[in-house]
Structure 1
């Protein structure tokens, strides 16, 4: 069963139904569901689907021509495959002239072709300009190699610049979108599995029939897809993966400032700047600044964007020696003792995403910006202590909502609210929001019933929000 991606399907359908030709780029990192999206979209339509592989380019062209010949019921070309791009596209153009309805022509993993033969970009441009733009054809190209996507396809210098009629950056699913993979899971277990896999459909599908207690054992098993997948993905993009692996391991353990990272690598900040910039360019990490800060702010931190990478570099990469000798019990115990702390950090990101998505339901306000803040509060402790505010949200009316997020095994006490009010006094917020794994104590609950500017969100409330989304 295909899950999610309704907006993307609707967009592709609207483009397909117009009377003009289209050239759509669908891109995003591996495992995000590009192929599954295409397969769902092309159902009940006429299509030629070609999947690029890591084979020699001559073999790829040969295979492509055979698949096209099969589509056009052309036994002669099937037995005598074409040998170059020009002949391939001419063959396609010639045969499309005899087709009445719009044909979908999908080149999946197009970036593999570009990596092997960058002339394909200019060739596709030529035939699009001369023929395809005036034909009943819906061209879809996809790519996972983000370096090539950014440098060769999206850039102004790309031969395809100005020819693309649409782009879809396929991101991970959000927490509320993955619930259909695990319809019987509690919100708490959904958050835990999201902390391990992120919102990548490939991983979620691989785990969807498992009980939650078996999930971690499956993920750390050396025979599972999860054990080597991070290596495989990063080695496709990076020339010196070992240095990047070390950086990602350090960030995954919470040492996320450039000085900390450089110190643990026994080098200086200037030596690792290019590595960090490359990881940002590939979408693997992001550089975050405190809310309200300017571009020159030196308090930036680095965060791994994908929870699978986060989990991998925190628990699998540094403990490969245990995994290789099948000493899983020791690693399971390490994870068990640390997992709540690990999940607590991800729950902060989840809570910000929930407030951004469901802000109107929760606070009565449309949220236009959201982030976090850390630094020294001049109005608290004479500005001596570093403090952090988990959530700062800007409303449509330019008001500010601040929030605290706690992943604890006991109800939140009213003192947490008082602490938030003290450390956010310099912001002058007009509402406060608290997210809690285990609910709230009686005093805090009663206060929120009196003061509607205090909003409490527990896992039950999160579940209600998720269930309120139309099918």
Structure 2
């Protein structure tokens, strides 16, 4: 069952319909569903699909030739290996003049590393723009740094030639919930909080099992299906994994500013920045700065990949219990009791996604969304979204673990806190609470235009 990716399919379909020759760069971390998306788009289209091998020139040339002939001459029993990659590309272009064709090269970095000149050959084919041909080229890879720093760089032969790039991440929290139609919004939020909407992770879980069983099988058994993923993903692009593991541990423990991370990992600040940039490029961490503030000194790092965040929050500290099997006896006190605290940040992520993609309340277009904080801990505002000019703003309080309905005092506290941000002229307010709201607050919110949201409403349920 194919779920989500509506926007990406629209981009691909539009280029396919409007341009005789096009090139798309499609990339993202492993397991996010790049190949599944490409396969869905290619349904009903003549497709040369080549998965490049981590091998030498000759092996890739043979495999590419086979992929070509399996498309243009599928009945051929023993297809020959063409003499070079230029010949393969020329044959594909000739075939595309007879029938509209999609050329997909998956794991493209493997081909580039054995034959760097391939980019120039491909650029020559794309620039020819044969008037009677219909050819779309999709280059896909799991290395974000390779695609951004090599294929998309200003020095690349494809620079100015490729039509668009699509960086693929996990599914939205709403699309994620379609994998578990019997789960409640709260249970689906937790599933999202431990998978980040990555399709492979979702498929490895059992939609017929209860939430605890899925959490245990994913992270807390000796052969947990998610336990190897962090190291596997890091190994693809990075070395010195011990340092990267230490950085994740530092961030999840609360030592998340640059100086704190450098001290915790025992690195010079300048060297630490390089490691942090590598993780940022991979989309595993991100640098947070307060919305409506230009003070970079207030910034800190968070783990943006939710599977990594869940893993480093719960697995390393409980490794002995997991290995010995004692985690089954202590799951309640070591894991379950701390999930509400963990879900505070996840709920904030969900709320930000809601206002960016699903909300119809706001009268302004969001330019920046995040949190606000200053040197004073009392000035922290969970949610702040502003327009391009910082004259319109949405202030919000987001609560998952409070365990009580919000009341008038929570709204008053938010309004008072918001006064610290003086640049916003037009203000609106939002309260998000897993435990709902008192009737008095509901009536007051209706009068004053305050947005109240619970998990069922975030998941579009009433």
Aligned pairs for 1:292-311 (under 5 A) are: 292-294=292-294, 296-311=295-310
Match of 1:439 among 411, 436, 440: 436
Q: Deviations over 1:302-356 (max 9, x none)?
A: 1111101111222234444443444432673422121111111111121122123
How many Å apart are 1:83 and its aligned residue? Answer: 5.6
Q: What is the CA–CA distance in structure 1 between the aligned matches of 2:86 and 2:358, rounded to whole Å? A: 51
Compared CA separation, residues 203 and 74, structure 1 to 2 (3 A) = closer
Equivalent pair of 1:360/1:367 in contact (CA under 8 Å):
no
How many Å apart are 1:194 and its aligned residue? Answer: 0.6
Q: What is the CA–CA distance in structure 2 between the aligned matches of 1:192 and 1:395, rounded to whole Å? A: 30
Match of 2:380 among 364, 388, 409: 388
Give the equivalent residue in structure 1 for 2:34: 34
Aligned pairs for 1:94-105 (under 5 A) are: 94-97=94-97, 99=98, 101-105=99-103
How many Å apart are 1:386 and its aligned residue? Answer: 4.8
Equivalent pair of 1:405/1:435 in contact (CA under 8 Å):
yes
Give the equivalent residue in structure 1 for 2:395: 402
Match of 1:138 among 131, 136, 139: 136
Q: What is the CA–CA distance in structure 1 between the aligned matches of 2:224 and 2:48, rounded to whole Å? A: 33
Equivalent pair of 2:283/2:305 in contact (CA under 8 Å):
no
Q: Deviations over 1:56-91 (max 9, x none)?
A: 443232122122223222777935323642343344
Q: RMSD of the TM alignment (CA)?
A: 2.5
Compared CA separation, residues 411 and 238, structure 1 to 2 (3 A) = same
Unpaired runs of at least 5, structure 1:
377-383
Equivalent pair of 2:433/2:453 in contact (CA under 8 Å):
yes
Give the equivalent residue in structure 2 for 1:448: 445
Give the equivalent residue in structure 2 for 1:291: 291
Give the secondary structure class of the aligned counterpart of 2:161.
Answer: coil
TM-score normalised per structure 2: 0.90
Q: What is the CA–CA distance in structure 2 between the aligned matches of 1:46 and 1:331, rounded to whole Å? A: 55
Unpaired runs of at least 5, structure 2:
none
Q: Deviations over 1:375-402 (max 9, x none)?
A: 14xxxxxxx6553101112257832221
Give the equivalent residue in structure 2 for 1:18: 18
Equivalent pair of 2:65/2:80 in contact (CA under 8 Å):
no
Equivalent pair of 1:359/1:366 in contact (CA under 8 Å):
no
Give the secondary structure class of the aligned counterpart of 1:183.
Answer: coil
Give the equivalent residue in structure 1 for 2:246: 246
- Does residue 72 of the first structure (1) align with residue 72 of the second (2)? yes
Match of 1:181 among 169, 179, 182: 179
Equivalent pair of 1:369/1:393 in contact (CA under 8 Å):
yes
Give the secondary structure class of the aligned counterpart of 1:199.
Answer: coil
Q: Deviations over 1:418-467 (max 9, x none)?
A: 22222222336632210000101233233223332x22211232233x68
Match of 1:417 among 411, 424, 430: 411
* Number of matched pairs: 454
Aligned pairs for 1:48-447 (under 5 A) are: 48-73=48-73, 78-82=78-82, 84-97=84-97, 99=98, 101-130=99-128, 135-207=133-205, 209=207, 210-220=209-219, 221-294=221-294, 296-329=295-328, 332-333=331-332, 334-361=334-361, 363-376=362-375, 385-395=377-387, 398-407=391-400, 408-427=402-421, 430-447=427-444
Q: What is the CA–CA distance in structure 2 between the aligned matches of 1:146 and 1:124, rounded to whole Å? A: 20
TM-score normalised per structure 1: 0.88
Q: What is the CA–CA distance in structure 2 between the aligned matches of 1:2 and 1:341, rounded to whole Å? A: 33
Equivalent pair of 2:286/2:304 in contact (CA under 8 Å):
yes
How many Å apart are 1:19 and its aligned residue? Answer: 5.1
Q: What is the CA–CA distance in structure 1 between the aligned matches of 2:25 and 2:245, rounded to whole Å? A: 30
Equivalent pair of 1:104/1:140 in contact (CA under 8 Å):
yes
Give the secondary structure class of the aligned counterpart of 2:203.
Answer: helix
How many Å apart are 1:146 and its aligned residue? Answer: 0.9
